[in-house]
Amino acid sequence: MREINVSEVTALVRRLCMEANYRLPEDVAQSFETGRAAEQSPLGRTIFDEMIRNCKLACEQDVPICQDTGSAVIFAEVGQDVHLTGGAFEDAVNEGVRQGYVDGYLRKSIVSDPLRRVNTDDNTPAMLHTRIVPGESVKIIVAPKGGGSENMSAMKMFTPAATKEVIADWIADTVIAAGSNPCPPVIIGVGLGGTADKAAALAKEALLRPVGQFSEDPLYAEMEHRILDRVNASGVGPQGLGGTVTALSCAILPFATHIASLPCAVSIGCHVTRHAEGTL
């Protein structure tokens, strides 16, 4: 049994909150170069140039890539052979978010109640997804999620008779209908199966898959290609101003489900689909 004081969790979350908002993952940054090369619209290529320049400046100057530094969505994998000491894990995570957003001068966007709309002034609480896994380490991924892209999320309960083509076309049409709102070119995360809440969580997690990496299952890889082709043929383009590259990547995460159910959730990541990870 390995002991880890929750103060280490706080310190890690604090660092990752800033890192995720200042520096894009390498695969996402590289997709801008790939997207620019594929984009046929002169205006679209100019937008890609500005995206590339913006990300480089943010990294060099330690400033946010986007003014919307998002909800602090956190995926935690806690080893079952870890004994956390010194306090509660969730409290430690939220303290890390508080420190990261205050010390990192990141915009605080969380309100304490959905109707009263009073800002918490420190971007807490985090949207925390915790899983107990084998081992004696703690892995944390901080994935800030901006409001513009989050507002374009969608859920549909298909019947089990729905074909993969029908499902893929609904996903693509959902992304196309979002237009410029999620700041394209986007990354498409899809959760398929489970229950409604499980599908939504899977869709968020799908956004963590490396850009351009397709499913190892040929059935889902074919769906991902179909979705991308349909979205990129829509003409929405970079920032919704027209072009041939509206989506950079699509990832589907399937899960077991009830014999009477076929839930599907879509989570759209903006062009700065941010995340940073660390392990204790």
Average pLDDT over every residue of 190-218: 97
- Dist. CA 62–CA 131, nearest whole Å: 31
Q: Say how many C-beta atoms besides its own lie within 10 A of residue 268's C-beta.
A: 28
Residue 119 burial by Cβ neighbours in a 10 Å radius (0-12, 13-18, 19+)? exposed
- Residue 147: the pLDDT is 96
88-147 per-position pLDDT tens digit: 999 999 999 999 999 999 999 999 999 999 999 999 999 999 999 999 999 999 999 999
- Dist. CA 269–CA 236, nearest whole Å: 15
Provide the mean pLDDT of the chain. Answer: 97
What share of the chain in percent tops pLDDT 70? Answer: 100
Taking the model in full, what pTM does it have? Answer: 0.95
Task: Kindly list the domain boundaries of the chain, sorted by start residue.
Answer: 2-20+65-145, 148-273
